[in-house]
Structure 1
């Protein structure tokens, strides 16, 4: 849920979601559409499908959750950041975790742009033995609250004396691996159109002919058609008997 979604929005849904889908087996047995319904407000609905597919894979393997990097990376929707976060925060393995905040922090400390490999090697090298769980969360918080993207609070940073940048000159974090670039505006985007249609289908099937209207794109049917095609291709929407609905 925390992939590209703020903590405050996740907290609004997390407890209810876990109560409804408490185990991989329960999650796997539910229709995919049920997860999409429960994902309301979190955005990036494909993550719900990935979670459903991962739960099915775990259940098919006897319910054993992977506890190694390769096993985690084999799960649908799990990339290097998520896999290492699970290893550190769930299994307390001594691995570094590089999110956008940590990537920005390391680039500024070193005073230069870092490749993805360099950022990960730095993270792994700095983890204190046996303290991965608290160390990585401390770095997350430092990057999120002090070494921020805009207006970093360098004067109160506990690492100021070790920092090569210190807020002076060009920011080495710009373009550095692991540091998210600014997204295009959501208003009027294809993402907004996708979200509007999925949200409408959470209340039940709708006529396929109403897709452009439900997206707010009545004046641009070709664009609405492309967006609908992408949703069908991603498996977030299915079409049956001239109706659109969430997958089962």
Structure 2
């Protein structure tokens, strides 16, 4: 199915004005933005991204700072292990690539914490190379428009990349636009719960729409456990306390953050294991 011409034309007319789409936004900024955008809404990322790049405008600047500074600056973006991985990636970029974000997908994949999506996104969006880039939004558009299913099945890197490869134009410049355009379509039009099908540029070619919007009956991606009352919530409370303190936080202070001792201890132990917290004389603090 040839969806690229219509989707690209729609994107050029209707794309959101996002910082990482502007001319001159370099590969380091693209890399940081892609890591921040994993599981975090765009509106929360934009201000934090600007602060981050003002403070660390290149990998060398971040690599020269302690990892704890990266965790502290991550603030409430969630999943703070991403901050540690980004710091580790900056160190690796300085040590292996002279401080320049590599262009080759295999070199990007070799960086700490950089997976298939992020590596291809940097190569495609920062350097303009022709690679299929697949996230949740892309998978949903392809499932509906191409496969006629209401939602995608569980992720499969090989299958998903092959599916996106089929819709990418051969022209390198147009392929870059298509990657961004299909992603944008899934984010603002072909949404998970309330798709705006009448506004979709490929509504007349969508197989799901043509079939009468049949319900999806295949295997489903596991639903993430609720946040309230979870270990993730307790981890977040402990991290917030450590970010707000310039001195070690004592065990007694941590005990006031959550009433259930077993869950609190489990959350703290997991933070220590992840390297997000270190034990020091007097209590606990951020690394470095």
Provide TM-score, normalisation by structure 1: 0.91
Q: Which residue of 1 aligns with 2:215?
A: 170
Alpha carbons 2:59, 2:94 under 8 Å: kept: yes
Q: Which one of 211, 224, 231 corresponds to residue 183 of structure 1?
A: 224
Over residues 167-217 of structure 1, what are the superposed CA-to-partner deviations in whole Å (9 max), with x where a residue is unaligned?
622137873xxxx65432222111111111111101222102332322xx2
Q: Is residue 170 of structure 2 the alignment partner of residue 135 of structure 1?
A: no
Count residues in correspondence. 241
Q: Answer yes or no: is 1:92 the counterpart of 2:119.
A: no
The 1:54/1:116 distance shift into structure 2, 3 A limit, reads closer
* Equivalent pair of 1:104/1:173 in contact (CA under 8 Å): no
Unaligned runs of 5+ in 2: 1-35
RMSD of aligned Cα (Å)? 1.8
Contact 1:31–1:247 (8 Å) recurs in 2: yes
For 1:234 and 1:213, the matched residues in 2 are separated by 22
Select the residue among 39, 42, 47 that pairs with 2:74. Answer: 39
What is residue 153 of structure 1 aligned with on the other side?
Answer: 196
Q: Structure with the greater relative contact order (CA < 8 A, sep ≥ 6): 1 or 2?
A: 2
Is the CA contact (8 Å cut-off) linking 2:59 and 2:100 kept in structure 1? no
In structure 2, the partner of 1:56 is 91
- How big is the shift at 1:118? 2.2
Report Cα offsets for 1:3-60 as digits up to 9, x if no partner.
1111100012111110111111110110111111111121110000000100111111
CA distance in 2, matches of 1:212, 1:69: 45
Aligned-pair CA distance for 1:125: 2.5
Task: Give the one of 28, 42, 46 matched to 2:63.
Answer: 28
